Amino acid sequence: MTEVSTKKETVVETVKMQDGRLVDFPGKKRLQKESFVSPSGSVSVRLDFRNGETRVFTLPTNLIAKFAGHGAEQKLGDEIAGVEDIDDATIAVDELIGRLNVGEWGIKREGSGMSGTSILLRAMVEVTGKPVAAIKAYLATKTAAWKQAARNSDKFRDTVVRLEAEKAKGKVKVELTAEDEAEIDAIV
């Protein structure tokens, strides 16, 4: 049986900008942004709008540190988008900080790659007796698929299951009663 893709191809509109450049705007994107550092060290941001308008903003030198701080906040915060578990989020940020400290800006984390890593980390520390920092550094080099396989391995599976159960005990589970459902149905 062949699989039929239902994903629509993204439509790209090429717009001629005021200065004559051609800029592509995929899908519903209305703005393209690009930053530049001049040979003298000044930093500028060019904003190209889908209507052909362009704006260039050169950062005032007295605000460069403030802009850098804002960018760092955004970069670090973006790393945990979609990561629900707070311990996994902490590990994701730690890994990003490690990559940034060695100059790796554009390396993208695998989607959902952090999910369950904190439990795997705890299980590996418990089973092996190795230090947290060593296991954390080791896991930072592994793919999401590898981490999932390790969670399900004979060596760590039982500990992972127990730790997840312990973590789940702290969560309150709410179930709707028939009365609750009737009240919801009655809402006009």
The H or E element spanning position 68 is: helix 64-78
pLDDT at 100: 92
Residue extents of the structural domains in the chain: 12-59, 73-169
Supply the mean pLDDT for the chain. 85
10-42 burial code (b ≥16 CB/10 A, e <16): eeeeebebeeeeebebeeeeeebeeeeeeeeee
Q: Alpha helix locations (H) across 34-63? A: none
For the segment 59-111, what is each residue's pLDDT rounded down to a tens digit? Answer: 999 999 999 999 999 999 988 888 888 888 888 898 889 889 988 887 655 44
- Spans of the chain, pLDDT less than 50: 110-113
pTM to 2 decimal places = 0.55
Tokens of 91: 């590990």
Can you give the pLDDT at residue 147?
87
